[in-house]
Amino acid sequence: MASTVGNACAYDLRNKEELMAKRIFVAFAIEDKTQRDFLKGQSLLGLSPFEYVDMSVKEPWKEDWKERCRSRIRGCHGVIALISKNTLNASGAKWEIKCAIDEKKPILGIWAYQGDRTVLPEMAGQKVVPWSWDEIKAFINRV
């Protein structure tokens, strides 16, 4: 992952103003929180000029969580889904992905770990790629 953050420094800032207004929802298994932190860290360090949004569940699910989550997904330009073997059992992340598809939001699946190429049925028909700053940047530019 260090090389991913390092590659972020090469980002072409000419499009920064255009991207500043973009909001990207991040769906992930709680076990992959560190990977989510790496992704969000790029934003916090000013390396990616767009905002990441997630709905991490820190307490037992309440039914209104789904309503609030759907509202946040609707307010985003696209969704990045971090995919790993952990996602197979992550009901929240899988619901977020399904919600994004229902809301017709563009989705980019990113394999969260170099050696993990988990196939997630919920991502059928969606693009899933190895973690790459170029892929993330291209996705943001498209949404």
Q: Reply yes or no on whether the pLDDT at 24 is more than 90.
A: no
Rounded Cα–Cα distance for residues 84 and 121 (Å): 12
Contact 97, 122 (CB under 8 A): yes
Q: Which amino acid is at 93?
A: A
Rounded Cα–Cα distance for residues 32 and 88 (Å): 12
List of residues 6+ apart from 132 with CB closer than 8 A: 4, 7
Sequential DSSP letters for 92-142:
HHHHHHHHHHHTT--EEEEESSTT-----GGGTTSEEEE--HHHHHHHHHH
Q: Reply yes or no on whether the pLDDT at 81 is more than 90.
A: yes
Rounded Cα–Cα distance for residues 124 and 110 (Å): 13
Mind listing the pLDDT tens digit for each residue in 114-124? 999 999 999 99
Q: What is the number of other CB atoms lying within 10 angstroms of the CB of residue 142?
A: 10
Q: pTM to 2 decimals?
A: 0.78
